[in-house]
Amino acid sequence: MFVHWAEVDNSLLIYTGATMLCGGAIFYRAKKNRMEKATPLCCSLLFLLTLEILCFSTLRSSLALALFSLACLTFCFCTPARALLPVDRKAVLITGSDTGIGHELAKYLDRLGFTVFASVLNAEGPGAKMLKETCSERLSVLQLDITSSAQIKDAYLEIRPKLQNADLWGVINNAGILGFVADGELLPMSSYKQCMDVNFFGPVELSKTFLPLLRKSKGRLINISSMAGGIPMPRFAAYGASKAALSMFSGVIRQELSKWGIKVAVLHPSAFKSSIGGNPEDWIKEEQTLLETLTPDVKKDYGEDYIHNLRSFFSQMNSVCSPDLSPVFSDVLHALLAEHPKGLYTPGKNSYLYLLMFCCTPLWFYDFFMSKIINIPCMPYALRTAKTKNSS
């Protein structure tokens, strides 16, 4: 009797292991195919469990295990992927196409056959010129400063007659600025206002302007937020607050526009190489502006050396940024063409992990974790002085 139950226990462990392996394959396939609804996934796992019970209760042999594993693998890898909607007659507006993600995304969607309206801050700049030279005739370059109500209206009046037989299927709010990365107390109010103007108020006004066309096509509104818009990150007070506002706007309007058949998605990309961080010359100018606006007390407490060292944070950021933009492109394409797009996408390394950690762990643990991830090159002058006095 003892041997019999031991054999049963061993068989049960083997079947459980096989089920976990195949279940993991199903989860991976669901994530890879951006499966939106939980029903197909639950049905798949229920099928696995039923099959396991049937095989285990009737045939406790290596042959049964082999048949069970073969059936599971066949089910996992022969189930067709969820098809995307066709690209035909679909037009897309992308903001911030001068450089970076917006520029490459415009070229990517043009290659796929979309009619692309690529808005740029400078229609005579090198980015606009490159788009005209390298893309098809379907792509149109538009002059658009999203902080200008007049230019948003002009863009609407220019796009509408150009649609012809196509529908405006997607509006992608990609344009954004980072500004100088520094402690929230150090940033001038102009930085907060500029981030809100470009990263929040501009996309909101542009969305409101083009929603009538999206309502007609039952299309898609896609907002490119940031990982910093979903989790608090030191030194990103202005940028993170503006992106958090955009993410909240996206979530609210997603619910409100569902009755019209419009799908809304927001992306929280992690660190990707783009031009949003500016260049060393820009950092020097931003630093000088910051120093000129600080009150004497704040400047003394932090120390100019602390403020100078903030520039090294930009170099640190660039070193961890990924040059591969394909995760962003893949998620944007799914948000555009999937029958049931996700409301939130987290492309890039660790973006979803950080969001999960912030939502599911105690705040003290999250704060401790972020303090270790985001390196601070030196302490403010007042804290260094106090520490020296205490140690002596």
pLDDT (tens digit per residue) in 49-58 = 666 566 656 6
What does each C-alpha distance from 29 to 61, 172, 265, 269, 282 come to in angstroms?
Answer: 29, 27, 21, 21, 44
Q: Which residue has the tokens 């260094």?
A: 384
Using a 10 angstrom Cβ sphere, with 0-12 exposed, 13-18 middle and 19 or more buried, the burial of residue 392 is: exposed
How sure is the predictor about 2, in pLDDT bands with cuts at 50, 70 and 90?
Answer: very low
Q: Which helix (H) or strand (E) holds 169?
A: strand 167-173
Asked whether the predicted pLDDT for residue 110 surpasses 60, the reply is yes
How sure is the predictor about 67, in pLDDT bands with cuts at 50, 70 and 90?
Answer: low
* Pick from 321, 326, 291: nearest CA to 306: 291
Domain ranges of the chain: 2-78, 90-373
Asked whether the predicted pLDDT for residue 17 surpasses 90, the reply is no
Q: Tell me the two tokens of residue 373.
A: 């991830």
Opening angle at CA 75, ends 73 and 77, nearest 5: 65
Higher model confidence: residue 277 or residue 110?
A: 110
Decide: pTM greater than 0.85. no
Which listed residue (239, 302, 345, 352) is catalytic? 239
What does each C-alpha distance from 112 to 106, 107, 136, 325 come to in angstroms?
Answer: 10, 9, 11, 16
Residue 271 is predicted with a pLDDT of 79
- Do residues 330 and 336 lie in contact, with contact meaning Cβ atoms separated by under 8 Å? no
Cα dihedral sign, 332-337-343-349: negative
- Quick count: other Cβ atoms within 10 Å of Cβ 278? 15
- Do residues 19 and 75 lie in contact, with contact meaning Cβ atoms separated by under 8 Å? no
Q: Tell me the two tokens of residue 256.
A: 């409100």
Asked whether the predicted pLDDT for residue 309 surpasses 80, the reply is yes
Percentage of the chain with pLDDT > 70?
Answer: 74
Q: Tell me the two tokens of residue 79.
A: 């189930």
Question: What is the pLDDT of the chain when averaged over all its residues?
Answer: 83
Mean pLDDT of 73-85: 63
Highest mean pLDDT pick, 333-337, 348-352, 381-385: 333-337
- 164 phi and psi angles, rounded to 5 deg: 50, -115
- Do residues 222 and 335 lie in contact, with contact meaning Cβ atoms separated by under 8 Å? yes
Partners of 263 in the β-ladder: 220
- List pLDDT tens digits, range 184-204: 999 999 999 999 999 999 999
User: What kind of architecture, by CATH, is found in domain 90-373?
Assistant: 3-Layer(aba) Sandwich (3.40)
Q: Tell me the two tokens of residue 305.
A: 């050396």
Residue 363 is predicted with a pLDDT of 93
For residue 156, indicate whether it is catalytic. no
SS3 label, residue 286: helix
